[in-house]
Structure 1
Amino acid sequence: MPVVGDHRGMPAALLVLISVLLIGCTRPPEIIGIENAAIPASTAPEVSRHRIFIATTRRASEEPGVFLSADRAHLLGLASAEVTVPPTHVVGQLERPEQLPPDPRTEFSAVNAVIYGNDAAMVAAINRELAARPRGERELLLFVHGYNNTTTDALLRLAQFVEDTGFQGVPILFTWASAANASRYVYDLNSALVARGKIKQIANLMAQTNAESSSVFAHSMGTLLTMEGLVDLQQAGTLGRRGTINHIMLASPDIDVDLFRTQLIQLSPEIREKIYVLVSRDDRALRVSSRIAGGVPRVGAANPQQLERLGVTVIDLSEIRDSSSGSHSKFAGSPEVVKLIGAGLNTVGRFGEDTSPALTQILTASPIRILGN
């Protein structure tokens, strides 16, 4: 870590970024494909297993555990990996190994990675997973990660999210070329914009499967490329035309409020009513993003009533204080939030209209507020 020198004259946003860097100079090791010879994941008792499919704009990496690098690829890559969740897992936690190899009895592991040479090969693999599920649960979930993520970060987070929400369908991770470096915000922003055109290709791939329906969940900067991709699909006349879309969930959107309004205007009313925006006014990461953007507010920290007037459903998490992953990732780090999202993902109804005891109990016992349609 370089020594920080004289701060005089340095922009305030840069100072904030430097403080973030000083707080977290290291991250846990990359673990994709790293087997524990003493305790193979295949023999570990009572672990949960999730086959996660991967679409990516990252270049492949030969470095052990990395699998996909931070470098941008021109073509969309296709792969999958099996993530194991330990029997000791606690809802809202991500028990990630601090050293290699992972111990699948107490830590997440990611093994049995597969690379697909074309769309048809991945579609066939997804269809096998769908066929193993009963009718009514053959749903796809496209997860788009945010800023400052490695492939391992995103893969494990999605596995934890699937485990904790109880999602019964087949998850697909879209991992774009984030530098996974807090000081490279602009690189990540440009990588997200480069990747937005691939949403159409991923949607086409999903439409070729035997899925009964699909949902989208995007986080942070990933919401920007997701919304841009939705606009592209709307303009092409294919959005919602080749399969049922249940939910589009945007968690902590790192999007300029004015840009978001413009994006929404270009979407049909039928699509807008499927959009749920998870916000939190105490989101520290979005405060930094806003300062970098010259003080323009970000959607994920905006006034909930202001967003509600745009015609979307707003889920206000501002009063949630139990997130193990901080204020920017309450969607995964708060047990009550992940349970709420699970209650939404696992039903075709809308939040607030579902009268199931599970959802009613969560909303009654928590400070979560739902505004909108």
Structure 2
Amino acid sequence: MQLVRVLFLVIVAALAACAPRGAITVVPSAASVGTTRTVFVGTTRASDAENGDLFGFPRSPETRFARFDVSVPPERKPGKIVWPKPHQAPDPATEFLTTREDLFETEGDFRAELARALRTEPSGEREAIVFVHGFNNTFAEGLYRVAQLGHDLELSGVSVHYSWPSRANPLGYAYDRDSALFARDGLQDLLNEVSAAGADSIILVAHSMGSALTMETLRQIAIADDRRVLPKVAGVILISPDIDVDVFKAQAARMGKLPQPFIIFTSSKDRALQLSARLTGQRDRLGNLEDIEEIADLDVTLLDVSAFSEGLGHFAVGDSPLLLRILGRMTDLDASFAADPTGRTGLLPGVVLTVQNATEIVLSPVAAIGGAAQ
């Protein structure tokens, strides 16, 4: 069994080495071709001079702030990110490109720029969506994923990205797990700045190991009884969370009443989480949990996207065009949850199971296609 694990890791590493990694390419003129998505960034990545990265994998004790405008190309399939090809002229019609980057010298400068963006919405409706990337991500990959999701889901509000110091290496799991713990204070710093900039509500969206970081940060904010952020958290979405189920339950218990809606995307076909579970000697992780009764005492909604999972199946939410179309209706959930917990039934296509406080929806692509055809 140990040999099988080692061989699997070697294969994953070889495949990753063959695939080009995302990097920032600045082409201001791309703004006239693609659709621009502005992303505000807080990061605890230090510069990596050896590789020429301003935001690399080394850890920074200080949180730095920036703003990027990303051009989403017009010729692409939903869910797909195409990087500029090495040694070729960038093509803004088909490739994601950066059209503007601003690095702020102080948190005050960042806060002022973010406040201007938030004020474009009416008072009381100024929403910030804060994304936290997962394991094995470069700075550019996390940034462009935020732009892609914002564009494909047609998200309103201001997009904010927390980029923590991932090693961006498939063999760097231990480094990334330590970095996620290291990065808790940085995420809290960013959330404080978002709140101080005038956000009326904050939606937290985290993927994979970033979900563990997000839960740890919310837990420490609750322990400190810091009232600047928690009252403004209007929802939490964990995508394929790489978290021990018992740890998650302990984190949730320490937080008390969970923000609503609290949505967890799961998949029994998530091969990355299957491997993570084996490496930790467990049957499953929160993101591939098959028995809802294990968290039945928590007020959460599980969305099972197993039917949409392909390949590693670790980010079907962002990769599947059909699932993206379904999730375009997620904004309808806010009102239905607030008015009636049973209102979530029927909003999304699939089989619904409720056990105590927890609800599981097994999403069905067949039902989705049928509904779209009506």
TM-score range, shorter chain: 0.7 to 0.9
Give the alignment of 1:123-272 within 5 angstroms: 123-134=111-122, 137-238=125-226, 243-269=231-257, 271=258
Corresponding residue of 1:274: 261
Q: What is the CA–CA distance in structure 1 between the aligned matches of 2:3 and 2:234, rounded to whole Å? A: 43
User: Could you report, residue by residue, the CA deviation over 1:336-372 in whole angstroms, capped at 9, with x for unpaired residues?
Assistant: 33344443247632569799xxx988723xx475753
Kept after mapping to 2: 8 A contact 1:31/1:102: no
Matched with 2:39 is 52
SS in 2 for 1:70: coil
Query: Which runs of no fewer than 5 residues in structure 1 stay unpaired?
Result: 1-8
Matching of residues 1-373 of structure 1 within 5 Å: 10-35=2-27, 40-44=29-33, 47-61=34-48, 66-99=53-86, 100-134=88-122, 137-238=125-226, 243-269=231-257, 271=258, 273-311=260-298, 312-321=300-309, 326-345=312-331, 348-350=334-336, 363-364=348-349, 367=350, 372=358
Aligned-pair CA distance for 1:210 = 1.8
What is the Cα deviation at residue 125 of structure 1? 0.7
8 Å contact from structure 1 (residues 127, 209) kept in 2: yes
* Gapped regions of structure 2 (runs ≥ 5): 360-374
Q: Tell me if structure 2 keeps the 8 A contact 1:279–1:300.
A: yes
Q: Is the 8 A contact 1:29 1:97 kept in 2?
A: no
Q: Is the 8 A contact 1:317 1:369 kept in 2?
A: no
Q: Percent same amino acid among aligned pairs?
A: 30
Relative to structure 1, the CA distance from residue 240 to residue 209 in structure 2 (aligned partners, 3 Å threshold; closer, same or farther) is: closer
Deviates further, 65-74 or 240-249 = 240-249
**Bigger share in helix:** 2
TM-score scaled by length of structure 2: 0.85
Task: Measure, in 1, the Cα distance between the counterparts of 2:107 and 2:353.
Answer: 38
Q: What is the number of equivalent residue pairs in this alignment?
A: 353
TM-score (norm 1): 0.85
Structure 1 residues 76, 91: CA separation in 2 closer, same or farther (over 3 Å shift)? same
- Call closer, same or farther: CA 1:225–1:275 in 2, change over 3 Å: same
User: Which stretch has the larger CA shift, 70-79 or 130-139?
Assistant: 130-139
- Which segment is superposed worse, 161-170 or 196-205? 196-205
What's the CA shift for 1:13? Answer: 2.6
1:93-127 Cα distance to aligned partner (Å, 9 max, x none): 22333335431111111231111122211111111
1:274 is displaced (CA, Å) by 3.2
1:231-258 deviation digits (Å, cap 9, x = unpaired): 0011111257665322100010101111
Q: Does structure 2 conserve the Cα–Cα contact (< 8 Å) formed by 1:155 and 1:173? A: yes
Contact 1:97 1:107 in 2 (8 A): yes
